[in-house]
A and B are shown apart, each in its own frame.
Chain A
Amino acid sequence: MKQFPILLKREFWENRNTFVVLPCVTAGFMILLMIGVYLAVDIVGIKANIQIGGDEQHQEMSSDKTRVNEAFGYMFSRLASLPPEAREHTIYQILNGLAGPLLVILWAVVLFYLIGSLYEDRKDRSILFWKSMPVSDTSTVLSKLVSALIVVPAVYLVCVLFIQLVFLIVSSLAAFSQEASIWEVLWEPSNLLSRWFTLIAHLLFQVIWSLPLYGWVILVSAWASSVPLAWIIGAPIVFAVLERFISGDTRVSGWFTDHISPVAFAQDQELYLADLLPKLMSIDTLAGLLVGLSFVAVAVWLRSKGDEI
């Protein structure tokens, strides 16, 4: 266990680009985009209809050179005029929209990282160096899983929180001269802390729920002697077809498919912790945990057996 921090660092060194540079660049890009939209709004003025929230009401604002304050003042006052629930919903959608791209990238980064995690060093033969060190195969595999499922999501999460915060700050500045209270219109309905807490809970739940997927990926990564991605996708498809053919139903493959889908941030518009807990406590989740951990155990065993390809 004393070795574990350096093992995580090792993963970070190897994957600095996708673990840190990519989310930071994405966050930076989104912030620029946000500011760009604000500026564009300023320059073009608001000739178009501005629609906020689920409200169907349209309003026209025509001015050749509307100042940014006015444009946002308009949006802000529209937001302020919404009933509290609709306001909350609108802000939630905006915050969610800001988080979306990073969370999708996170999902892809984690999967592609895991696909290569126990494969690349066998391919380039550097496994012979890693295995010359007194590090157990269990520690090695766990360090990759912890990186993929805890460390990397944490980094992306920080970026998500950062752009959400920047959004609220920039909007507050833009709406500074407005009459309505910035706190009441923007900050309070955003429920920032509870949303962040929920997002963290979702990501953790996602880890447990999708452990069969992650376990399967790392197993194939430890085993495949070429194109692990093909095995990761191909084998389950073949299995599903066989299952259908032999038993006539798709119980097992259906269960697996259910555990692959990224439930945490896509399925429902607004998930609250109260909805998560019963799902977390279900037999289904427990079964997923067991299947996932079995895959991981097999990956450790394969890692201990194998060397270079």
Chain B
Amino acid sequence: MTAVVNARGLSKRYGDFHALRDVSFDIEPGSIVGLIGPNGAGKTTTLKSLLGLTRFDGELEVLGMDPRHGRHELMKRVCFIADVGVLPRWLKVKHAIDYIEGVHEGFDRDKAEALLLKTKISPSQKVRQLSKGMVTQLHLALVMAIEVDLLVLDEPTLGLDILYRKSFYERLLNDYFDHGTSIVISTHQVEEIESLLTHLIFIDEGEIVLSCSMEELPGMYSEVLVSPENIEQALKYSPIHSREILGKRSMIFEDVSADMLGNFGEVHTPSVADLFVAKMQKG
């Protein structure tokens, strides 16, 4: 199968500000990609490019189409939740369902209604009557009832409390995973999506800092709790990050064999969050 997304040399400028500089990446079918970066790193610009919502330079194919032309054709096979709370406030829940049923061939009304039954949202409510968390639940239920090849989620849980965030990702994983749909999630709350992901893309200041699969990660990065007597020795392998934890020194190494590092202390794969911090501070 060909890639769902094929991006080569994406660039985007707002005046003097480079939102994207020569960004290239692929997204394979069925993968769940975390697009992770600090605020202003270019996450939203990247996702908007994929969705045909913004102009850019470079080559980009999404499901074989150029998103700059015919966004509405692309939206038959791609759906997105662009941020929290973009559902129009005047819209009634049942009308939202009617609308999507009327415009989207891939929408399964029964499924949407079944998903909504699991929430406290009633069909006659208007979006303005729902809490922020409930709006997100509604949006997710609507989107999950649409059969598409690519789902894009841009900071889908920003500003929600921990209960909603947890249940959001649980639902996403349980109800969506076996679809074969590829998912791209952008967030800066790395911990919550770490277990979901099959691929990682780190982006900072408009550039891709890291792009790999979760399976490749252990082979590339190791975190070692270095005993005090080994610190000097370990530093020679130029760790990309080093910090104190409970009187010990934790170091993250890139492309240094784990067997080798075993001499300095206990070796394990760094968490995505720690790796993120390491990568961001390095530059």
B179 CB to closest chain A CB, in angstroms?
Answer: 17
Cross-interface CB contact of B55 among A13, A126, A137, A305, cutoff 8 Å = A305
Q: Would you give 25 A-B contacts (Cβ < 8 Å), ordered by A?
A: A6-B99, A7-B102, A7-B103, A9-B99, A9-B102, A13-B92, A14-B91, A125-B83, A125-B85, A126-B88, A128-B53, A129-B88, A131-B51, A131-B71, A132-B82, A133-B72, A133-B99, A133-B100, A133-B103, A134-B76, A134-B104, A135-B72, A136-B72, A307-B48, A307-B53
Cβ-based interface call for A3 (8 A): yes
Number of chain B residues close to chain A: CB under 8 A: 36
Cβ-based interface call for B14 (8 A): no
Interface string of A116-152 (1 = CB under 8 A from B): 0000010011111111111111010000000000000
CB within 8 Å: A-B pair count? 84
Looking across the interface, which residue of chain B has its beta carbon closest to that of A12? B95
Judging by beta carbons under 8 Å apart, are A128 and B82 in contact?
A: yes
Q: Tell me the B residues contacting A by CB distance below 8 Å.
A: 48, 51, 53-55, 70-76, 79-83, 85-92, 95, 98-105, 139, 143
Cβ-based interface call for A54 (8 A): no
Classify the interface of chain A: helix, strand, loop or mixed.
helix
Number of chain A residues close to chain B: CB under 8 A: 27
A7 to chain B: which residues have CB within 8 Å? Answer: 102-103
A95 CB to closest chain B CB, in angstroms?
Answer: 36
**How far is B101's CA from A21's CA once the two chains are assembled, in angstroms?**
27
Cβ-based interface call for A225 (8 A): no
B75, B79, B86: most-surrounded residue (chain A CB, <10 A): B86
B13 CB to closest chain A CB, in angstroms?
Answer: 16
Cross-interface CB contact of A124 among B74, B89, B100, cutoff 8 Å = B89
Cross-interface CB contact of B79 among A132, A135, A139, A304, cutoff 8 Å = A132
Looking across the interface, which residue of chain B has its beta carbon closest to that of A133? B103
Judging by beta carbons under 8 Å apart, are A3 and B82 in contact?
A: no
**How far is B98's CA from A13's CA once the two chains are assembled, in angstroms?**
11
Within 8 A of B (CB), among A280-309: 304-305, 307
Cross-interface CB contact of A135 among B89, B92, B103, cutoff 8 Å = B103
Cβ-based interface call for A5 (8 A): yes
B80 to chain A: which residues have CB within 8 Å? Answer: 128, 132
B100 to chain A: which residues have CB within 8 Å? Answer: 133
